[in-house]
Amino acid sequence: MLMLQIAICDDSIDELSNMVQLIDLYRTSKHLSCEYAVFPNGFELVSALEKGRRFDIYCLDIIMPGFTGIDVAKDIRAFDKTAPILFFTSTPEFALESYSVKAINYILKPISKEKLFFAFDELLEQIKTEENEDAIIVKSNAGIQRILISTLVFAEVIGRNVFYHLRSGKVIECTEPFSTVCDNLLKYGSFIKPHRSYLVNMQYVDTIDNRQITLQTLSTVPVAQGKAREIKQQYLAYQMEGDSQIEGGALK
């Protein structure tokens, strides 16, 4: 199982503490590799997203003053269309609204061990199926790592080092020829090479202009001089394939 990044957001310190304890218990009992970050309100979580932080799972309280969990989820979806969102709340009145942000579960408080374990068991079954997705194996400074193609935003080379930038915000550094990286990634069909030092996953493109590509993670990648037209055509062709789930990509 890959290392999972989990965000927990609740305005109640007691609820945050309970969630952390239950997730720690689940992590231990299931031998799960995960890290989590806690946020006492939605503003801090969205601020982290705006700075480029990403998570694999979002656990959100719905009823929070000023900025509800539904509001937070809408902002999450502006950055990440697919990451699982679990709502934890004391009232069922927002159940229908939770579907508008594609939440995968809606759990009534109090959050018990049984409720959380059941929700996470279902979620991990879904994540395990993703392990059959296309992936590359890289040898990083931290050891051998598996990178899902669907989570790789872009790759860049600086000197002799290649940096893989993931949706979660994590960066994996490797020492390998960039030509080999290009051979490995370009065969998947979702990558373009806008510059000799960069490969970009078109799934994460937000806008393309004549000088740079802006990604949904707020990162920017340069477009080599004279190559903008070719890159735009490749991106349009990718979108027109019909199986892309990119929403809102725009060309300038």
Q: What pLDDT does residue 247 have?
A: 47
Q: Are residues 118 and 160 in the same domain?
A: no
pLDDT tens for 144-166 read: 677 889 889 999 999 999 999 99
Residue 34 shares a structural domain with residue 122: yes
Specify the number of domains making up the chain.
Answer: 2
Give the domain-ending residue among 95, 130, 165: 130
pLDDT for 213 equals 97
Q: What is the CATH number of the domain that holds 20?
A: 3.40.50.2300
The answer to which of 22-31, 131-140, 166-175 has the lowest mean pLDDT is 131-140
Structural tokens at position 185: 């990634």
Could you tell me if 91 and 154 lie in one domain? Answer: no
Residues 151 and 169 in one domain: yes
CATH of the domain at 186: 2.40.50.1020
- CA 125/CA 131 separation, integer angstroms: 10
The answer on 119 and 150 residing in a single domain is no
Domain around 11: 4-130
Residues 51 and 146 in one domain: no
Do residues 71 and 145 share a domain?
no
Pick from 92, 115, 130: which residue ends a domain? 130
Q: What is the pLDDT of residue 242?
A: 52
Q: Answer yes or no: do 105 and 149 share one domain.
A: no
Whether 83 and 149 map to the same domain: the answer is no
Co-location of 117 and 219 in the same domain: no
User: Residue 130's pLDDT is what?
Assistant: 60
In terms of domains, do 67 and 171 share one?
no
* pLDDT value of position 33: 87
Phi, psi of 18 (to 5 degrees): -65, -45
Task: Kindly state whether residues 141 and 111 are assigned to the same domain.
Answer: no
Whether the CB-CB separation of 175 and 164 falls below 8 Å is answered with: no
CB 88 within 8 A of CB 8: no
Which residues have CB under 8 Å from 143's CB, separation 6+? none
Q: Regarding predicted confidence, which is higher, 161 or 93?
A: 161
Which of 89, 115, 130 is the last residue before a domain boundary? 130
Whether residue 51 has pLDDT greater than 70: yes
pLDDT digits (tens, 9 = 90+) for 18-41: 999 999 999 999 888 889 999 999
Short-list 40, 8, 46, CA closest to 27: 8
* Residue 248 pLDDT: 46
DSSP label at 142? T
